[in-house]
Amino acid sequence: MKYLLMIYQNPATWQAMPESEKNAFMSQAGAIVDELIASGEWVGGEGLADPSTAASVRVRDGVPAVTDGPFAEAKEQVVGYCIVDCESRDRAIEIAIRWPDARRWGMEVRPILSPDGVEM
């Protein structure tokens, strides 16, 4: 089953981090991605540009309203995501636990709805 792993960060804290620490984060995350590719569990994932570059879009009565910035103003924002296809929810959580951002900020693990189903 597929899971979305949403990576949360506080962009301000990240910016203030020393270069060596950032490098350690990146290489730890990179090593996990390599492992997931090798195990056949990696489906995809990317990092996102700074939340300040986001556009939030709503359409009301046919009128689009586009505002700069993310939907919810919060200290911690989604800064990247991975999609993994793995055996169980426990396995997806295990991957999230190892992700470096989980130690500093947090990860959210969400099952992805399958388009498949069986009648009851």
- Positions touching other proteins (CB under 8 A) are 1-2, 37-44, 85, 87, 111-120
- For the bound state, the minimum distance from the C-beta of residue 40 to other proteins, rounded and expressed in Å, comes to 3
Task: Classify 67 as helix, strand or coil.
Answer: strand
Beta bridge partners of 44: 83
- The DSSP output letter for 53 is G
Residue number with CB closer to other proteins (30 or 111): 111
78: nearest Cα among 14, 13, 10: 10
- For the bound state, the minimum distance from the C-beta of residue 111 to other proteins, rounded and expressed in Å, comes to 5
Residue number with CB closer to other proteins (38 or 59): 38
- For the bound state, the minimum distance from the C-beta of residue 18 to other proteins, rounded and expressed in Å, comes to 35
46: nearest Cα among 33, 59, 65: 33
Residue number with CB closer to other proteins (49 or 113): 113
- In this structure, the chain runs to a length of 120
